[in-house]
Chains A and B, each alone.
Chain A
């Protein structure tokens, strides 16, 4: 027994010692280098990029276009690994808790909630965006870029793409798509079992758009999280959703755990609606053949969330120079143009077109030829700002509490 107790105490001490988080990391201050020095340092380095790899088109863009380009132009080897949001946060948290100095992740694809979490655990390098020559082509004062979930980015993450939430409908079954919450409620009641909300990031973005609508518009919920406002408007939101619930997919007894199974059910006719955070996704997916030709997308009259996604460099990355060079390439007009093409990815650019040359502007404008999705410039007038991250955290908890478990 004594031996067992000793072993137990030894283990306890071992774990506690392994979890000391007062380590200091030694790093070169890349922010002091000139861009030419960064380019020299970057040559020959290998960068690990953790990104969501759930879309073959996006993977193809990275593997067939970005990786060969950065190798040829800068001599940098870019390696990708699969992981998103909470996985990135888990890995970086684990590394910090284990006092790991050189992170396995050099750069990562993030947005709002992950940015908020990575700031909480102080895992991001920066501010570095000003160091990137191509950052001058971005309007960093554009509120849809300057703030990520109402948090100023302050150069700690680099804008990469900009998209707007859209509802996708079956045009053969839904002849006149509902344009506001009342019409949506009436319509869902007419087509029981054909509408649902995914219990994931996309579903939460939809709920946020509805919450803003209930609150009377974009400015009411702007700024830091407001408990009183949230309680008031979210109560109305849950009442609304619960009125729809009996008419939703499987009578609202459950909800899809992600938007991808919703796309599949939509394609098979089990659902008449699905949704996407990316206004360009329908054109991209129909071209790719993963969504059927009857898919069309639109935004509600009261507007939908417009959301930028970003790239970050980890604080403990050992390849910061190379990561910065890759990020600079990714926001170059060439890389952004390629990315915005619907047959490639269909992701909206973060570049300010007025800052580009006439030739580049013409090239971007020639891509505004969507067949299945709405015109990007037209729906921009209905764009709503992302809310503070606490709104999403609370909506996530309360959607389960007041809707799923009811």
Chain B
């Protein structure tokens, strides 16, 4: 009887959790998506004149969206690649000591800075008349401030990527350090070494694959987060191409109110891309029977 009661209670709790999840996460998202769909085809909105596909066709025909999506993927890929290389390297070099002791403060500190603050710091440091440029000028490395290379509002997105790297690297350093400890990688590495494996071999065959495999979910989520980032590309990006969130907000807040449905359609495109990314990821994780 007690066991039955416990099982019943646990079933109720599970269902409650599912209902809460649906109510708090799925329903608002679905309602938002539905609202965007209805808005983009002119079925709602106080300026709508009834059903139309003109907003969708007008948006699709504009190559700006494709460039924006590609640019967002490019920035996210570069940012993640550099952050992962740096954080994996850091963890393997420092082992777990980077999150402990007096130096750990510096690995936790950047996590406390909001994206907008980090973006402004990057702007002050990396612009043509910024801190770095002035130091180089004072040390005669450059003869004029204008010789300092374009590192913010640049066509390659160096400023955006650098800032994302500054934010992501400490996060992944701590994240991988925790996995390193939880998986007892130190002992595993010692065993491998005692069997004759070199440090490089240990990193290549054991540590890196294990850290990446265990962290795959978080890496993908961070990748999606970078694609959708707003403040950093707004402050450090160019006017064209723009990252997808900046483009959506621009379309939503144009002087021409008739263009708002285009912004809603873009937000649908962005949502679909993110859902597809997650779907592909989940499919690739399914065990092969």
Contact = CB atoms under 8 A, between A and B. Distances in A.
Interface of A: 8, 11-12, 14-16, 19, 21, 85-87, 89-90, 93, 96-97, 113, 117, 120-121, 193, 199, 250, 253-257, 265, 268-270, 389, 392-393, 396-397, 400, 404-405
A15 B38 CA distance: 9
B145 A15 contact: no
B44 A89 contact: no
The 7 nearest A-B residue pairs measured at CB: A86-B253, A268-B129, A254-B238, A19-B44, A270-B129, A393-B256, A393-B255
Given A12-B34, A14-B31, A389-B255, 6 more contacts: A120-B47, A121-B46, A250-B153, A254-B155, A265-B129, A400-B239
Contacts of B154: 250, 254
Nearest to B129: A268
Nearest to B44: A19
Nearest to A14: B31
A257 B64 CA distance: 17
25 contacts: A8-B30, A14-B31, A15-B34, A15-B38, A19-B38, A90-B252, A93-B257, A96-B46, A97-B46, A113-B255, A120-B47, A121-B46, A250-B150, A254-B155, A254-B238, A254-B239, A256-B153, A257-B234, A257-B239, A265-B127, A265-B129, A270-B129, A393-B254, A397-B256, A404-B239
Contact of A21 (B46, B145, B150, B252): B46
Given A14-B31, A15-B34, A193-B146, A253 B155 contact: yes
Contact of A16 (B38, B47, B64): B38
Interface in B34-66: 34-35, 38, 43-47, 64
B145 A269 contact: yes
Question: What interface size band does chain B fall in?
Answer: 20 to 34
A257 B234 CA distance: 8
B254 A86 contact: yes
B240 interface: yes
Given A268-B129, A393-B256, A15 B239 contact: no
B44 A396 contact: no
Contacts of A265: 127, 129
Which residue among A256, A257, A400 has the maximum number of chain B CB atoms within 10 Å of its CB? A257
A167 B215 CA distance: 54
A404 B153 CA distance: 13
Contacts of B34: 11-12, 15
Nearest to A399: B239
A253 B127 CA distance: 15
Interface string B137-158: 0000000011000100111000
A122 B221 CA distance: 42
B164 interface: no
Interface in B151-192: 153-155
A93 B46 contact: yes
Interface of B: 27, 30-31, 34-35, 38, 43-47, 64, 127-129, 145-146, 150, 153-155, 234, 238-240, 252-257
Contacts of A121: 46-47, 257
A269 B252 CA distance: 34
Contacts of B129: 265, 268-270
Given A21-B46, A121-B46, A90 B30 contact: no
B161 to A, nearest CB: 16
Nearest to A396: B255
Contacts of A254: 153-155, 238-240
Contacts of B255: 86, 113, 117, 389, 392-393, 396
* Among A12, A21, A254, residue most surrounded by chain B Cβ atoms (within 10 Å): A254
B34 to A, nearest CB: 5
B38 A400 contact: no
B24 to A, nearest CB: 15
Q: Which residue, of A15, A113, A393, has the highest number of chain B Cβ atoms within 10 A?
A: A15
A297 to B, nearest CB: 21
Contacts of A257: 234, 239
B244 to A, nearest CB: 16
B234 A15 contact: no
Contacts of A393: 254-256
Nearest to A120: B257
A12 B41 CA distance: 14
A89 B257 contact: yes
Contacts of B155: 253-254
Contacts of A269: 129, 145
Contacts of B35: 15, 19
B240 A404 contact: yes
A364 B122 CA distance: 44
A288 B233 CA distance: 30
Nearest to A123: B46
Contact of B44 (A15, A392, A400): A15
Contact of B31 (A11, A86, A250, A397): A11
A393 B255 CA distance: 6
Contacts of A90: 252-253
Contacts of A8: 30
A51 B35 CA distance: 28
Contacts of A396: 254-256
Contacts of B64: 405
B145 A270 contact: yes
Given A93-B46, A253-B155, A117 B257 contact: yes
A321 B27 CA distance: 40
B39 to A, nearest CB: 9
A171 B51 CA distance: 57
A87 B249 CA distance: 11
Contact of B238 (A85, A253, A270): A253
A193 B129 CA distance: 13
Greatest chain A CB density within 10 A among B30, B35, B146, B256 is at B256
